[in-house]
Amino acid sequence: MGNSALVLLAVREPRLHTPMYYFLCHLALVDTGFTTSVVPSLLANLRGRALRLERGGCLAQLCASLALGSAECVLLAVMALDRAAAVCRPLRYAGLASPRLCHALAGAAWLGGLTNSAAQTALLAARPLCAPRRVDHFICELPALLQLACDGGGQDSTERQMFAARVFILLVPSAVILASYGGVARAVWGMRTRGSRRKAVGTCGSHLTAVCLFYGSAIYTYLQPAHNYNQRRGKFISLFYTVVTPALNPLLTTLRNKEVKGAARRLLGDMAATAIDVTVHSEQWRPMTFTAHPGDRVNKINEHVRSRTKVPVQEQVLQLGSKTLKSQRTLSSYGIDKETTIHLTLKVVKPSDEKLPLVLVEPGYEGQRHELQVRRSSSVTQVKEMIKMKTAIPPKKQIVNCNGKKLEDGKIMGDYGIKKGHLLFLTYHCIGGKIQNRREHFVEEDFECGPRVLQSAKESRVSASRNRV
């Protein structure tokens, strides 16, 4: 129940869309699978009668528990790396824990668990089981089943391979966790304030407790030879990593977490709240009233407005007082609930698209000027077509600059902060190092373009005429 609630909160609450809660969500999914696959057979065994399972059903339960257990081993190591990055590199944490890397690490945890489970289950399925086919356990656990395997025929080699796989899936993540917390300990030791130390210990303490509970019982169960395994004692140890730890993980990770508590309160309030009427006012349209719930996202109001006005969602700006509502947040996150507000007034503001009279300055000594009437939403391509109509210069040969920035195709005038009366400076592309002034009809060899070169060419021409005189 606690793990399912944690998954629901992590998915529903935008404030919990962080790397830490992303990995906690995956850990909660693993724990939910553990309890779902183990608890039914445990409850059946508590009734006092032996539970009879076919070999295929027993192997299926073994495969599921191994996959979930192996995935949790890797996930706990990944979470230790995440904690170490947050404590040791706080300024670079946002770049280090990128969404793409988080998805890759979580996928690697699930893939590693499935691979280990498939390999171990396949090796055990290839071995015959000897009578009596009876285990003193509440689940089909690997060490107990290995004691039923018949000897001979290269079985020792198979058991060594399975033991090596268990060593790898348990000890490699353990080494990663120890190295991560070694770095955390050094970082905490170097902190100067008690508040920083307390926050770092609070961030890592709950995870470290979960690691000790899970790895302690799992290492005892799997890192011992099969002939030394005591089923009577082993089933109580297995109870910790299959039932106790999954049940305690939500409490350990969220008991002192204010963000999760706040998200839970908002979720419960949204579930208990009744519908509210949202009224949207605008200068262009009549007031629009929609029925919504406090848990609905602002994006739902955007879609309602789009259906009524045909205004695209990306062009809408919804405002409540002086606050601009973000599309991914819920209405309740802005304090809208049954007790305080029933009717909400929002405002739709369309982006400004005012006219911008500009002045185009051509290159050359004279610097002839042209007036252009553009809009803030006009694209650079459209402006170049206007320039072509004024100067007969193809858009591909135009280089337009404003405020020291080159106007690039694919953008609009509003992207450059252009205001009324600004100057647009036009230069030409060079072809083969020759510049041709369209009005003076002269050609000058050079490898640069622009007013300076044309002006020097003009001065050379005037100087030559004086020498002839």
Q: Tell me: the pLDDT tens digits for 210-260?
A: 888 889 888 888 888 777 777 778 788 888 888 888 888 888 777 667 777
Could you check whether 2-266 and 355-468 share the same CATH topology? no
Classify domain 2-266 by CATH number: 1.20.1070.10
| Residue 429 banded pLDDT, cuts 50, 70, 90 | low
HSE-CB for 435 with a 13 A CA cutoff: 22
Q: Is the pLDDT of residue 95 over 80?
A: yes
**The most confident of 1-10, 180-189, 314-323, by mean pLDDT:** 180-189
Q: Which residue has the higher pLDDT, 343 or 1?
A: 1
Residue ranges of the domains in the chain?
Answer: 2-266, 278-348, 355-468
**Which residue bears the tokens 């309890």?**
35
Q: Is the pLDDT of residue 390 over 70?
A: yes
Residue 307 has a pLDDT of 82
Residue 295 has a pLDDT of 74
Residue 154 has a pLDDT of 58
Q: Is the pLDDT of residue 380 over 60?
A: yes
Distance of alpha carbon 395 from alpha carbon 380, whole angstroms: 10
The pair of three-digit structure tokens given for residue 44, joined into one six-digit string: 């059946």
**The most confident of 29-43, 57-71, 357-371, 439-453, by mean pLDDT:** 57-71
| Residue 80 banded pLDDT, cuts 50, 70, 90 | very high
Classify domain 278-348 by CATH number: 3.10.20.90
Q: State pLDDT tens for residues 260-281.
A: 777 777 777 666 656 677 788 7
Percent of the chain with pLDDT over 70: 81
Q: State pLDDT tens for residues 314-369.
A: 777 887 776 778 888 887 777 766 544 334 445 454 445 667 888 888 876 566 88
Q: State pLDDT tens for residues 17-30.
A: 888 889 989 999 99
Give mean pLDDT, residues 369-394.
86
Q: Which residue has the higher pLDDT, 50 or 392?
A: 392
List all residues 6 or more positions away from 189 whose beta carbon is below 8 Å from its beta carbon: none
Cα three-residue angle 146-149-152, rounded to 5 degrees:
125
List all residues 6 or more positions away from 35 whose beta carbon is below 8 Å from its beta carbon: 3, 242, 243, 246, 247
Classify domain 355-468 by CATH number: 3.10.20.90
Distance of alpha carbon 60 from alpha carbon 406, whole angstroms: 65
User: Mean pLDDT in the chain?
Assistant: 78
Q: Is the pLDDT of residue 452 over 80?
A: no
Please give the model's pTM, rounded to 2 decimal places.
0.60
Distance of alpha carbon 431 from alpha carbon 447, whole angstroms: 9
**Which residue bears the tokens 């081993």?**
73
Q: Which residue has the higher pLDDT, 322 or 176?
A: 176
Residue 107 has a pLDDT of 94
